[in-house]
Structure 1
Amino acid sequence: MSALLSTHALKAWYGDFQALFGIDFEIRAQEIVAIIGANGAGKSTFLKAITGVLPVAPGNVVFKGRPIGGRKAHRVVAEGIAMVPEGRRLFPSLSVEENLCMGAYAKRPGPWSLEKVYGLFPVLKEKRKVPGTALSGGQQQMVAIGRALMSNPELLICDEISLGLAPTVIKEIYAALERITRDGLTAIIVEQDVLTAERVSQRLYCFQEGRVSLQGNSRDLTHEQISHAYFGV
């Protein structure tokens, strides 16, 4: 099966500082692929390069067989890629429902609507008129995921969605993600917890200092391999 999204010798800079050094990556349709790595390993930079936040060469990022590297972020969303950003980044002046509706601005056709998001996260329907930033951390994360789904993506990218959340809330968030991907959505998960990353993904990439230090089937990689790739020791 050909890749839904792939990167080829992907490099990225912040001014004169090079953050990524030739990343080769691929994800096939209906896969869940996890990315792990220490702080500063290049994980979030990689996501920014895919989603149009950082400029890269067109052929460095290929989606559904077409080069999309360097496209503006709103055009990447229109192509069918949505990101749940680290820190959620909800609009503080908007209600829960208004935050969700912001995700639909690209007007891509597909199955996701307000009612379907409310079916996935019923608590959001109860709180739909409440300011998004007035919710608990877990509920805010639900809004961020729902907002991304409202763009009807083919590829959902989640950056550190468990960060700062209680274990019971993390379990609830990932149970919802499992239902989403079971319906055919493809997902890239950047996750700080290695055990969670292994559990929820089919394949795993480890980044270290802007390079891929390890990749393979999540069930086949040993803890020794992951530890060496993660810490370099």
Structure 2
Amino acid sequence: MSQLLSTHGLKAWYGDFQALFGIDFEIRPQEIVAIIGSNGAGKSTFLNTVMGVLAADPASVRFKDQPIGGCKTHRIVAGGIAMVPEGRRLFPSLSVEENLRMGAYTKRPGPWDLKKIYRLFPVLKEKRSVPGTAISGGQQQMVAIGRALMSNPELLICDEISLGLAPAVIKEIYAALAEVARNGLTAIIVEQDVYTAQNMSQRLYCFQEGRVSLSGNSSDLTHEQISHAYFGV
């Protein structure tokens, strides 16, 4: 299997408004791929379509060589894809530990459990009885990542996980993700920070107005190429 996940001419709509125009994308096992682009470029729409939130032709999204376009989100998660959504979306009525346990509802077998999450993010063990939204933004992001890992995914999708966080916290979170990746997890990261995206990934896609404006090996792409693809100038 050369690709873990791929999209082929992927299109998406919000009602009559077309948001994606034929996206071709692929990620191989144990690879980190970054997606960059300005606000409104189609990044979150792409992720939501992959996750089944938006309708798609079945053959336009393939996971482990099986068509999953338009599948129900809970089936996609049970099949091995987990997403850390923009804004974290924790349950305010649940504690940190209860939020983490919510990620394990699919009962997928795998290495991730509470013990491993607490080893990855020790501060969460200290805060495990605190309401999930009563901790700092960075700690909430750790909970969101931990919750996704608790589903034991083969592919982890992270949507703007650095948004609104202090640089030191961003560094800590991405160091944890790098450790997770070293243990064999495949990941898609959506980032507005180009420097972080390039440094964290093997390959990079730039989206502009619902289309892929640039793709290639992250280390090979120049500032000029990325700037042109990002801003269209």
TM-score of the two chains, using structure 2 as the length reference: 0.99
Q: Given residue 61 of structure 1, which amino acid in structure 2 is its aligned partner?
A: V
Counterpart-to-counterpart distance in 1, 2:152 and 2:173: 19
Counterpart-to-counterpart distance in 2, 1:195 and 1:82: 25
Aligned to 2:22: 22
Following TM superposition, by how much is the alpha carbon of 1:227 offset from its aligned partner in structure 2, in angstroms?
0.3
The answer for unaligned runs of 5 or more in structure 2 is none
CA offsets 1:89-136 (integer angstroms, 9 cap, x no match) = 000000000000000011100000011000100000011000000010
Following TM superposition, by how much is the alpha carbon of 1:39 offset from its aligned partner in structure 2, in angstroms?
0.2
Counterpart-to-counterpart distance in 2, 1:31 and 1:20: 24
Aligned to 2:3: 3
Q: Given residue 160 of structure 2, which amino acid in structure 1 is its aligned partner?
A: E
CA offsets 1:175-231 (integer angstroms, 9 cap, x no match) = 000000000000000001000000000000000000000000000001000000000
Following TM superposition, by how much is the alpha carbon of 1:47 offset from its aligned partner in structure 2, in angstroms?
0.1
Aligned to 1:83: 83
Aligned to 1:218: 218
SS in 1 for 2:4: strand
TM-score of the two chains, using structure 1 as the length reference: 0.99
Runs of 4+ with >2 A deviation: none
Structure 1 position 112 matched with structure 2 position 112: yes
Aligned to 2:204: 204
The answer for unaligned runs of 5 or more in structure 1 is none
Instruction: Give the root-mean-square deviation of aligned CA atoms.
Output: 0.5
Query: Percent of pairs identical after alignment?
Result: 83
Counterpart-to-counterpart distance in 1, 2:225 and 2:163: 24
Aligned to 1:99: 99
Counterpart-to-counterpart distance in 1, 2:123 and 2:110: 23
SS in 1 for 2:177: helix
Structure-to-structure mapping, 1:45-84, within 5 angstroms:
45-84=45-84
SS in 2 for 1:123: helix
Counterpart-to-counterpart distance in 1, 2:212 and 2:11: 12
Aligned to 2:164: 164
Counterpart-to-counterpart distance in 2, 1:33 and 1:210: 18
Aligned to 1:37: 37
| Length, aligned pairs only | 233
Following TM superposition, by how much is the alpha carbon of 1:145 offset from its aligned partner in structure 2, in angstroms?
0.1
Counterpart-to-counterpart distance in 1, 2:221 and 2:122: 37
Counterpart-to-counterpart distance in 2, 1:135 and 1:147: 15
Counterpart-to-counterpart distance in 2, 1:167 and 1:149: 23
Aligned to 1:126: 126
